[in-house]
Amino acid sequence: MFRPDDTIVAVATPQGKGSLGIVRISGPEALALAKGLLDHSAQLKPRYATLAKIIDHIQAQEPSGIDQVIATFFPRPRSYTGEDVVELSAHGSPVLLERIVGLALLQGARLAEPGEFTLRAFMNGRLDLVQAEAVGDLVNAVTPLQARMAFDQLEGTMTGLIASLDVRLFDLIARLEASLDFPDEGYHFIKTREVVQSVEELLKQVRELLSGAASGRLIREGCQIVILGKPNVGKSTLFNYLVGSDRAIVTSEAGTTRDLITEVIDLDGLAVTLVDTAGIRTAEGSVEAEGVSRARQAIGVAAAVVVVLDQSRVLGPEDWAVLEETAKMPRVMVLNKADCSRSWSSDSLVGGDRVVSLSALTGDGVCVLRETLREILVGIDLLRDTPRIANIRHINLLERAATALESAKSAANEAAGEEFILADLDRARTALEELTGKRTSDDVLQHIFERFCIGK
Ligand SMILES: Nc1nc2c(ncn2[C@@H]2O[C@H](COP(=O)(O)OP(=O)(O)O)[C@@H](O)[C@H]2O)c(=O)[nH]1
Ligand SMILES: [Mg+2]
């Protein structure tokens, strides 16, 4: 998949018009190619912004100017990709940018695959795999917290931790190998007690990293929260209040929200997909039945549910049915319509559920609901210190490393031969190397980079 010999081109800025648009060219011919696009007076001094004109020397009958751009040449190896790179900052019209790319293609460039610039950066050792993935996460971040976590990884926080683990693992392996190579000297390069101790320390660090995994994943991937309740309790009103717009239809007629309405909200840094449902009552029409079945599916993947009850009306069988159906899920009970007079007390709800009284109409108490939801999802303090591990690939590999270290520890404790301990330690090391990309298969790379956008 990696063809380092050709020169690639792509628009690096998002689709659609903007004040500026950037065309990026990378590869051995980047400079020559850029020169072919620009007016002849343009001198591309490394890392200097140069005002130049894009000239069509090829398609037009006589050379004609297309746009005025700022061209910047980044010579290899100190560029994003590690290759010669030229960035052309043009006016952000999609047709204009496509035309510039088209001219570059006519000069022999190839259109970049998704993520190919970053793939090249990885291949040329400018980034390790964890950092390359962080680039993708940073571009895809929808909450500031996601962006912070991704940037942390891009800065090499995780890379540094893994490197320090790897150094210690390597040292342990080297000493054990020495003992294995000179068995007759009657001299051990490392005592069993030391082996156990070193492995235990490594395990402790790996486990520490893994301890933040659940909240890390939640931050990176976001989660789903479903609003449930019988018709007319105020689900859509609450949904709208949380979303901060009028995306869902609010009506006093029962059963109008037939389909699921979803919206992503930023819940203190967590990207939460909020789902408004038609309820899970017994449906009469077929359209409504479809809505109910979709609601059930949404509940199936939800991280938590919000059960809305109307405190101005006595609870009915439909309320109890919803309560029963969600009994085993992480949930918050919302006693809505707090602005009206109460007709029952929350004491009638048994169990240790979290209960929030609010008015979706006025918004009074909704902030308590937000806090409660966040608390259910990640715990109060977890978000203060950003977890360092969030990617399922990283989690799996660290778990593999932990299992191997675990087994090395038992082998050492049982005074098994060095070769057994070594085999386990090697497995742990392989997992770490797969994490940083020192060892990776093409499949893994492809899987990672195809999720990127073109131009990144
Ligand atoms: N007084 C009052 N009325 C509310 C409140 N929340 C919703 N409503 C009203 O209750 C009716 C049903 O609301 P809706 O959000 O469509 O309920 P849904 O069927 O559960 O989605 C509408 O007339 C809302 O204006 C509230 O907190 N207080
Ligand atoms: Mg509704």
In tens, the pLDDT along 297-349 reads: 888 899 999 999 999 999 999 999 999 999 999 999 999 999 998 888 877 77
State the average pLDDT for the chain: 88
Say yes or no: CB of residue 365 within 6 Å of ligand 1: no
CA of 43 to the centre of ligand 2 (A): 63
**What proportion of the chain, given as a percentage, has pLDDT over 90?**
61
Nearest CA to ligand 1 atom 2: 337
Query: For residues 370 and 344, is the Cβ–Cβ distance under 8 A?
Result: no
State the closest ligand 1 atom to the C-alpha of 358, by its place in the atom list counted from 1: 27
CATH architecture for segment(s) 138-212+407-437: Up-down Bundle (1.20)
State the closest ligand 1 atom to the C-alpha of 276, by its place in the atom list counted from 1: 21
Site to probe by mutation for ligand 1, drawn from 250, 280, 306 as the one with most ligand atoms within 8 Å of Cβ, is 250
Site to probe by mutation for ligand 1, drawn from 237, 336, 369 as the one with most ligand atoms within 8 Å of Cβ, is 237
- SS3 (DSSP) at 142: coil
Contacts of 231 (CB under 8 A, 6+ apart): 254, 255, 278, 279, 281, 318
CA of 79 to the centre of ligand 2 (A): 53
pLDDT digits (tens, 9 = 90+) for 18-55: 999 999 999 999 999 999 999 977 789 999 999 999 99
Domain range list for the chain: 8-128, 138-212+407-437, 219-378
State the closest ligand 1 atom to the C-alpha of 229, by its place in the atom list counted from 1: 20
Say yes or no: CB of residue 231 within 6 Å of ligand 1: yes
- pLDDT value at position 105? 96
What is the average per-residue pLDDT within 204-224? 90
What is the average per-residue pLDDT within 429-435? 95
Interhelix angle 94-106/30-37, rounded to 10 degrees, is 120
pLDDT digits (tens, 9 = 90+) for 238-252: 999 999 865 565 656
Q: For residue 231, which ligand has an atom nearest its CA?
A: 1
- Alpha carbon separation from 77 to 48, 84, 382, 445 (Å, rounded): 16, 7, 40, 22
Taking the C-alpha atoms of residue 372 and residue 380, their distance in angstroms, rounded to an integer, is: 9
Task: Check residues 385 and 92 and name the one with the higher pLDDT.
Answer: 92
- Please check whether the domain covering 8-128 is classified as CATH 3.30.1360.120: yes
- pLDDT value at position 21? 96
Is residue 375's pLDDT more than 90? no
From the list 332, 320, 212, 210, the residue with the least C-alpha distance to 272 is 332
Task: Check residues 258 and 367 and name the one with the higher pLDDT.
Answer: 367
Say yes or no: CB of residue 340 within 6 Å of ligand 1: yes
Beta strands (DSSP E) in 93-180 are: 110-111
Query: For residues 310 and 336, is the Cβ–Cβ distance under 8 A?
Result: yes
Q: For residue 291, which ligand has an atom nearest its CA?
A: 2
State the closest ligand 1 atom to the C-alpha of 340, by its place in the atom list counted from 1: 1
Nearest CA to ligand 1 atom 24: 234
CA of 302 to the centre of ligand 1 (A): 23
The CATH superfamily holding the domain 219-378 is P-loop containing nucleotide triphosphate hydrolases (3.40.50.300)
Query: For residues 319 and 348, is the Cβ–Cβ distance under 8 A?
Result: no
Sheet holding 64-74, edge to edge: 50-56, 64-74, 85-92, 18-26, 8-11, 110-111
Taking the C-alpha atoms of residue 326 and residue 279, their distance in angstroms, rounded to an integer, is: 12
pTM of this structure = 0.81
CA of 231 to the centre of ligand 1 (A): 9
Contacts of 353 (CB under 8 A, 6+ apart): 331, 332, 333
CA of 231 to the centre of ligand 2 (A): 7
Who surrounds ion ligand 2 at CB < 5 A?
235-236, 257
What is the average per-residue pLDDT within 383-393? 76
Site to probe by mutation for ligand 1, drawn from 342, 343, 361 as the one with most ligand atoms within 8 Å of Cβ, is 361
Nearest CA to ligand 1 atom 14: 234
Taking the C-alpha atoms of residue 77 and residue 327, their distance in angstroms, rounded to an integer, is: 59
Confidence of residue 277 (pLDDT cuts 50, 70, 90): confident
